Amino acid sequence: MTRPHVFFHKFLTLSLLAWALPAWAADSPLTLIRSTTERARAALQDPAYQGDDRRQACVDKVKEILLPQFDSPEIAKRTLGPSWRDRTDAQRKEFTQLFIQLIEKTYSGALDRYNSDVQFFYDQERVDGDFAEVDTRIFAPAQNKTFSVNYHLHNVDGKWLIYDIVAENVSLVRNYRNQFNRILSKSSYEDLVQTIQAKLKQLSAPSSS
Amino acid sequence: MSTKLKVAIFIGVLSTGLASQSVLAQTGTLEQDETEHAPLADPLEPFNQKMFWFNLRVDEYVLRPVATGYSKVVPEPARQSVGRFLKNLGVVERFANNLFQGKLPGAGREIGRFAINTTLGGVGLFDVADQWFGLKESPKDFGQTLGFYGVSSGPYLVLPFYGPSTVRDTVGMAVDSAMNPMNYLLSTVEVIAIRGGLTVTNAVNYRSLNLQLFEDVDRYAVDLYGAVQDGYLQRREKAIQEALQE
């Protein structure tokens, strides 16, 4: 009489596990950072994307992988600091778009120097309710140097999104916020927008070096 | 038995809960609303701006061209060795500051590293203490020691030639360099000559190893002064935070 009972329990437990495990795995911040990095890495090493003529296609592909993992409006809000509150919805949208373009430019520059022998280490994650941090390291054999990269994420409607990257102990958000605040305190928001636009134009021009 | 077990489990759960909470308390950055952050104070900005501009010119016309030429002649592994050799000479300051912060294991590692790297590592050209013996460096400086004991950084200060610093870290730098045993072993003229030579070598060597980094910061910063200022302050803040947690 007990046998069917035990069987039923086992079945229930296993099916629960089977249902819960992949969901948990997909949701863990560390797993998300790892899978995103590995996907971007695979695209960078894909033979289909090698060669100068395929460079833009490669950058676009990596962008397509990375961008959905970032909470762009949240990053823009945090970099603008106190001034965000005084902005209209249209201005917030405009600023978010400009800032993301700036980040994209920064990243695509870094991609050019990507080397396939770089090693990634995913050390640990800390989760506190809707906020999480993931500690990783990147080892570059060419320079014989290890860089620390720490991701800050928050949970938006059940999905973990990145809102800051701390590279070698320098937070990207804080660093840009100081730059933007300095411009804002000396002139105006309009001036800041113009400065960023000028920077974007300069970055789009072929590099002199 | 079962009550004991329950108590044990309860304590176990409680302590893991507390442990994870303390980890979160240490990081402390998990949920700030950063729209409330005040901008970094910079009361010495007029002076700092001038020094920053001066340093940029020094870099553009002297340091970068020299470092670029040097990097073409001397291969990177050799330049890394030069960097390690120069670093090895700073053992007294690092040892002393480990002691000042009560970090005996760190102080021991620094002494061990110096002994091993100076001998087996060929006067410090190679870091065999880390590679063969797993002795990690424990870099500590007096500015950090002051911060460790609660001295606040004071205003941001850009020094000519040296670059970003704060009032506290400038004092720290002076104390560290006074600790160098060279001061007691050699005449003042010799000390100035040798220190000058070492400082210039270090600057050129360091710059040559970071040509791309400097270019990147310059290229992607919207406001270069602000980017360098914040980068320096964030790193120092973290160095002190780590010293407190260690």
**Tens digit of each residue's pLDDT (9 = 90 or more) over A13-71:** 666 665 555 444 456 999 999 999 999 988 888 888 888 788 888 888 888 999 999 99
Instruction: Grade residue B10 by pLDDT with cuts at 50, 70 and 90.
Output: very low
DSSP state at residue B41: P
Residue B172: what are its φ and ψ, rounded to 5°? -60, -45
Which chain A residue has the Cα nearest residue B26? A126
With beta carbons less than 8 A apart as the criterion, state whether A21 and A14 touch: no
Distance from CA of A4 to the nearest CA of B (A): 30
Helix ranges restricted to H, chain A: 2-27, 29-45, 55-66, 72-80, 89-112, 172-186, 189-204
Does some domain include residue A1? no
Does some domain include residue A129? yes
Q: Range of A181's domain? A: 6-203
Tokens of residue B14, six digits: 């409680």
The pLDDT assigned to A15 comes to 65
DSSP state at residue A31: H
> Exposed (0-12), middle (13-18) or buried (19+): which is A9, by Cβ within 10 Å?
exposed
Does some domain include residue A66? yes
With beta carbons less than 8 A apart as the criterion, state whether B98 and B106 touch: yes
Three-state secondary structure call for residue A154: strand
Instruction: Grade residue B35 by pLDDT with cuts at 50, 70 and 90.
Output: low
- Go through chain A and tell me how many residues it has: 209
Distances (CA, A) of B20 to A69, A125, A128, A135: 26, 11, 9, 16
Tell me which residues of chain B, numbers 195 to 234, contact chain A at a CB-CB cutoff of 8 Å: 209, 212, 215-216, 219-223, 225-227, 229-231, 234
pLDDT tens, B58-91?
999 999 999 999 999 999 999 999 999 999 999 9
CATH number at residue A174: 3.10.450.710
- B202 CA to centre of own chain: 14
Number of domains composing chain A: 1
pTM here?
0.82
Return the percentage of chain A with pLDDT > 70, whole number: 85
CB atoms within 10 A of CB A37: 19
Does some domain include residue A209? no
pLDDT tens, B166-222?
999 999 999 999 998 888 888 888 888 998 999 999 999 999 999 988 888 888 899
The pLDDT assigned to A121 comes to 95
Does some domain include residue A48? yes
Q: Which of B37, B45, B222 to mutate to test the interface with A (most CBs of A within 10 A)?
A: B222
Q: Which residue has the tokens 């605040």?
A: A181
Are B220 and A105 inside 8 Å of each other by CB?
yes
A-chain CB neighbours of B37 within 8 Å are 81-82, 174, 177
The residues, any chain, with a CB within 8 Å of residue A160's CB and separated by 6 or more, are A27, A29, A32, A132, A153, A154
Tokens of residue A50, six digits: 């090698």
Tokens of residue A87, six digits: 């902005």
Does some domain include residue A102? yes
Three-state secondary structure call for residue B155: coil
Answer whether A133 touches B (CB < 8 Å): yes
Does some domain include residue A32? yes
Average per-residue pLDDT for chain B: 86
H or E element, residue B170: helix B167-178
**Intra-chain end-to-end CA distance of chain A, in Å:** 80
DSSP state at residue A172: H
Helix-helix angle A72-80:A89-112, to 10 degrees = 100
Are B231 and A170 inside 8 Å of each other by CB?
yes
Nearest CB partner across the interface for B24, out of A81, A128, A173: A128
A-chain CB neighbours of B220 within 8 Å are 102, 105-106, 109, 203
Mean pLDDT of B24-44: 63
Pairwise CA distance, residues A195 & A157, whole Å = 34
Tokens of residue A18, six digits: 């089977």
